[in-house]
Structure 1
């Protein structure tokens, strides 16, 4: 788990400055996004080091949207002369959606994940479906969506291929002139193997420090009903970092 005790005090102090938050993507066709990073170092009875990196980029028009995301986390620990990894994770994905009507849209997405501590060498999920804009304003977007997904999982000891149903919701909110919130919840019932399922939840709150610098806190949870033997079903990350915004 990433430790925030060294970077959080500095980030919270900077957040007191005048700030501008990032609203839902403007529909002008321009690319916007941010790159965020955080680190933690500890020494004493236990020496540990953790690094995390996050990035997102997107563009939107009146009719369509394209988004890319990346999260990487790596950590090590040395105790009593013995070294071990505490984290080795990479997640990246892309999504394209296009409005069919003013309220209805179609989408396609591809997500790739690696998590050594879960014995997951690679998971690739390609999905397509339709969604509905329940709320669509300048400051708030709230969508419901459903579709089908193909899941290829390669673990240390086995490979799985399956078709999944996709059910979910996601939203972006401009809370104030300084803060924005986004969240996504997705359920993947397994069609090929009845009774098995996955759940993904991601949420983030961003406070701008200046027009280009931001403080971001993200919470992420992955639940899998059928993990590898000896691996827990639920895996949660809480990351705090400072980033640079571009447009």
Structure 2
């Protein structure tokens, strides 16, 4: 809260399974979930499957691009559930500054197949530091943009996030 006013009420969760098919190409399935009270999104669930490619894959630097197809289930405050086909594009970059620290950057776009003007874009940039071999402390800047929010909701939100990340 800032001066007694709420300034954040958003949840983003993503899970993804990848399977290498060559040294650089991979198939994946992912499930994304968004809830954003300030954009009147009660929930947006997007299960998709697709293909990705490791453009750069060194010990210190990685850069991947991917695309997928699937579904988008979006329920906005006061409106009925919308079910649409979904197309996503994504990219992620990571560069190790040392054995225990890295800079990261990523962006995704999700378009609804029946109206490509209705999209959700995310961008993030951050710094990650290893606490253990499986746990990281991550500081991240995140920007979320909804091209067609409902009602008087803002199209754009930014956040600064501090998180613990667990890698399976």
What is the distance in 2 between the residues matched to 1:246 and 1:125?
22
Secondary structure at 1:185 match in 2: strand
TM-score, scaled to structure 1: 0.59
Matched, 1:130 2:51: yes
Q: How does 1:1-247 map to 2 (within 5 A)?
A: 75=1, 78=4, 84-158=5-79, 159-207=81-129, 216-240=138-162, 243=164
- The higher-RCO structure (CA 8 Å, 6+ apart) is 1
What is the distance in 1 between the residues matched to 2:63 and 2:18?
14
Q: Is the Cα–Cα contact under 8 Å of residues 96 and 108 in structure 1 kept in the other structure?
A: yes
Secondary structure at 1:117 match in 2: helix
State the structure with more CA Rg: 1
Go from structure 1 to structure 2 and tell me whether the alpha carbon gap of 1:122 and 1:103 turns closer, same or farther (over 3 Å shift).
same
- Gapped runs of 5+ residues in structure 2? none
Q: CA RMSD in A?
A: 2.5
Go from structure 1 to structure 2 and tell me whether the alpha carbon gap of 1:133 and 1:246 turns closer, same or farther (over 3 Å shift).
closer
Partner of 1:81: none
Q: How big is the shift at 1:105?
A: 0.5
Where is the strand percentage greater, Structure 1 or Structure 2?
Answer: 2
What is the distance in 1 between the residues matched to 2:150 and 2:31?
23
Q: How big is the shift at 1:173?
A: 1.6
TM-score, scaled to structure 2: 0.84
What is the distance in 1 between the residues matched to 2:35 and 2:73?
12
| Aligned positions, number | 166
Secondary structure at 1:196 match in 2: strand
Superposed CA deviations along residues 58-112 of structure 1, whole A, max 9, x for unmatched, are xxxxxxxxxxxxxxxxx4753xxxxx53322222221001011111100000011
Q: Is the Cα–Cα contact under 8 Å of residues 77 and 86 in structure 1 kept in the other structure?
A: no
